[in-house]
Amino acid sequence: MAKMVLEDEDIPESLKNFYLGIKTEATKRTYYYTIMSFLNHIGLGPEEIVEKAKEDPEWVEKSIIKYVHDREKLVSGNYIKVFKASIKLFMDMNDVEGINWGKISRLHGSFLLLLYPKESS
């Protein structure tokens, strides 16, 4: 894959900020994929999520928790770790405050089942 060019007019400012915090092209690709997967899941673009996060960090925090819960049976634990690192970097590089990263970093397994119990059929 070609290097991501930060001067490209088509790259949103929030992604340019995000890329500045990543050293390697491989990490840029991996983190980009996880961020875009999350954004597709919640139906927002990069600029929209930054704006929403600054207005209502609790909503974004809950969206991250729900996304992790929805994915935990579909992907590896390593993917969840990479996702949490990438979304935190994305928010940090775009000056988003008010998200409880300590709570998010501790999410895994049975704790999520207490928050979002499986629906019985």
Which of 5-9, 46-50, 52-56, 64-68 is the least confident region?
Answer: 5-9
Q: Which among 51, 45, 56 has a CA at the least distance from the CA of 10?
A: 45
- As a whole number of angstroms, the distance between CA 71 and CA 77 comes to 10
- As a whole number of angstroms, the distance between CA 7 and CA 107 comes to 36
Radius of gyration of the chain, Cα coordinates, nearest whole angstrom:
15
Q: Which among 24, 109, 91 has a CA at the least distance from the CA of 51?
A: 91
pLDDT confidence of residue 1: 44
pTM of the model: 0.80
Interval 18-37: pLDDT, tens? 999 999 999 999 999 999 99
Helix, strand, or coil here: 120? coil
With the CA atoms of 99, 100, 105 and 106 taken in that order, what torsion angle do they form, in degrees rounded to the nearest 10? -150
Interval 46-55: pLDDT, tens? 999 999 999 9
Is the predicted pLDDT of residue 2 greater than 50, yes or no? no
